[in-house]
Structure 1
């Protein structure tokens, strides 16, 4: 008889009569893939189902754009995709990304499960669709997370997967629960998608509002002149257009060091820059930093090195009462002279057209892009009179605050729907919903 740890028993709670709480290995085969992305001439050409195919899709179908690869005959036989298999993420930089499942919907003998993934192959007493929902439920998914090892990168071995405990009803009940969850989560996902689309529209409205204000001003009747700059177009006739370096007082590279969860000085990373603001919710720390590298209110933090779609992002530092703050080496601190309002600069640097232009100046650097601050500082910026900049900042602060308030309500609504979805899944696969058996 399988011994069930108390915490696992508590997670599943009382299960209905006729259900079993047993180790996964008794009902499914478990294999970790070792098929990498390297193409070798002495191997057979195949398609690879990779990490992102699983991470971003609940189902693996023939419609996905699989990567070209190669494999040996034994690898093909061992890792070719079969209907009702469940593939999960077994390695990740984030603990929360361990154990994310996707159901294989059809036999695909030419598509192999790629590296960083594990294959669950259900036996006759386990339905694949039900297993996929089980993997999304807290009682099983938490076992996967707790079984993963690592500090900066996490890996899930076969032992914790094979010995994870699953609650199994009769096979027909499994199929009934899977069909119920397919239908109910589709409804919830539709609602969530509509709310996310509304968030996108609010973001587009915010971007259009900011771009209009910082490139055309607030007076619709102001005389205009050609700026001579493609991304700017016409600007008010009394504005200047100058390279950023003409209004930039200094630019300072961040610190390169190993960061820890605790310490005396918070060190900003790219993830702390969100929509022009700095979020210190996931800060890393150092014990000590040169005083000249500490941020002060109204400093602009600029991302110089990352994937191409992220370089050029900027955010304004508004101060922190809890601890001093510095920045990592792939970020840069901009300080402006008396002619340019930092808040105005932050708005300008966050416009889509300027960020797109900045990325054309980025240079490739070992798998990522590097936007040198001196190259970026050559970009021509709009320079209204300082008093007008202040009025634009005041106008935008009020408008953006209202839009963000509306966005926050939508985000809260999405979070509640996602919480309900997760609770519904767990309740269904643990037998807590009546009328499904």
Structure 2
């Protein structure tokens, strides 16, 4: 079984010492391990799914930490902001306590390394989602070492290969954990490895946090830039006028406000929401040449994505009202509300779905790229969309809401000027954000590779821990 990953190509062994002697650990996923490490099945070193009987005698009002799956962090950790009384959770949730190791069992949480070493639980006790494996190490297994094993690439890759179930309900079994054979050092050496990884992953995580803070600042700067440009223009000395719209405020005197419906080509087809329910039943999974477009295309901007198809007959029945054409502007109306894209040339023939609103506008009155900046990127328009959407959040937008959205519209030649400016300045910020994100990806890759190397004995960190200065 191959358990290689991009991070395995990082040359960690050249920068850190290795053990003097290695031997075959007699596991199919690892070629060699330190000769003095003992390979064992985890069933002999830990307990899985500890019994709730040890806490059933506690008073019903005892406060305990409550951990739904969204509170389990990727790459390790728990958000412990929620508590419940034990009587509320003891019969319907997974039990654990301080010192237990948690591993998400369901896809994609398992592959995304959702898990934690439980600590600082309220009264030392936690209950959480039933989609967690709970591992309680025995006396010969350091809980921190075990936690890092579960965060390693081999553990996750092997577990992924054993998943059972279908689609989004695939899980790793309890048997996988219990029967996994792993080379394990002595408890003092486990402690040294865990101490090393605590220190090094802490440093990496601190760097990642700084980069994420910089990304947040750059994104705030980008949002402010776009919103200023599409509402105030570029000339800070230009004469201003009251827009007559409370949430919009003042706009340049030569601009005007207009509702989107007055920019549409025609009332019957200019702004159109996709077909509902039974109209889209019986779709085909094979490529018929007639596609159904939706959020997956708008959010990603990739109009080749997707696998929903109509027969030629169904397409022609629906095309008059719902066809998507190049240079239409499409918006998401549910979930990620207000995302928008300009439809590129060369798309396959197709229609929009019920989660999509199509705008077919009079482009002689408005530059399509200016409108996209305004709808998709501008803070004020996103805020306005959120204010006017009807019903619950998931009910989404409708055509009436979009038709009556008010936009601030500069003259056509100024629209073109503003688009060029935004393409340049927002594009520059996008490049900086992309560079930061690539740096974070490399740090995460290095973090996983370092953990994997340490818990499989590819590097010897014992002396480094012994001589490391106190922090």
Match of 1:361 in 2: 388
CA distance in 1, matches of 2:184, 2:353: 48
CA distance in 1, matches of 2:198, 2:286: 43
CA distance in 1, matches of 2:186, 2:282: 52
TM-score by length of 2: 0.77
Q: Is the 8 A contact 1:95 1:154 kept in 2?
A: no
Residue 34 of structure 2: SS of its match in structure 1? coil
Distance 1:95 1:127, change over 3 A: closer
The structure richer in strand per residue is 1
Whether 1:29 aligns to 2:47 is yes
Q: Return the match for 1:397 from 415, 423, 439.
A: 423
Distance 1:93 1:190, change over 3 A: closer
By relative contact order (CA 8 Å, sep 6+), the higher-ranking structure is 2
Equivalent positions of 1:264-303 (< 5 A) are 269-270=294-295, 272-274=297-299, 278-279=301-302, 283-288=305-310, 290=315, 292=319, 293=322, 295-303=324-332
Match of 2:104 in 1: 89
CA distance in 1, matches of 2:88, 2:410: 65
Deviation at 1:279, TM superposition (A): 4.0
Q: Is the 8 A contact 1:47 1:70 kept in 2?
A: no
Deviation at 1:314, TM superposition (A): 2.3
Residue 237 of structure 2: SS of its match in structure 1? coil
Equivalent positions of 1:1-400 (< 5 A) are 9=27, 11-31=29-49, 47-55=65-73, 58-60=76-78, 64-68=80-84, 71=87, 75=91, 79-92=94-107, 96-97=111-112, 100-106=114-120, 108=123, 110-148=125-163, 149-249=165-265, 250-254=270-274, 256=280, 263=287, 269-270=294-295, 272-274=297-299, 278-279=301-302, 283-288=305-310, 290=315, 292=319, 293=322, 295-306=324-335, 310-319=336-345, 327-338=352-363, 339-349=365-375, 350-365=377-392, 368-400=394-426
Distance 1:6 1:361, change over 3 A: closer
Deviation at 1:155, TM superposition (A): 2.4
Deviation at 1:159, TM superposition (A): 2.3
Q: Greater Rg, structure 1 or structure 2?
A: 2
In structure 2, runs of 5+ residues without a counterpart are 4-25, 53-59, 464-471
Residue 284 of structure 1: SS of its match in structure 2? coil
Q: Is the 8 A contact 1:192 1:417 kept in 2?
A: yes
In structure 1, runs of 5+ residues without a counterpart are 35-41
TM-score by length of 1: 0.83
Q: What's the C-alpha RMSD, in Å, of the aligned pairs?
A: 3.3
CA distance in 2, matches of 1:398, 1:6: 45
Deviation at 1:75, TM superposition (A): 4.2
Deviation at 1:354, TM superposition (A): 1.6
Deviation at 1:14, TM superposition (A): 0.8
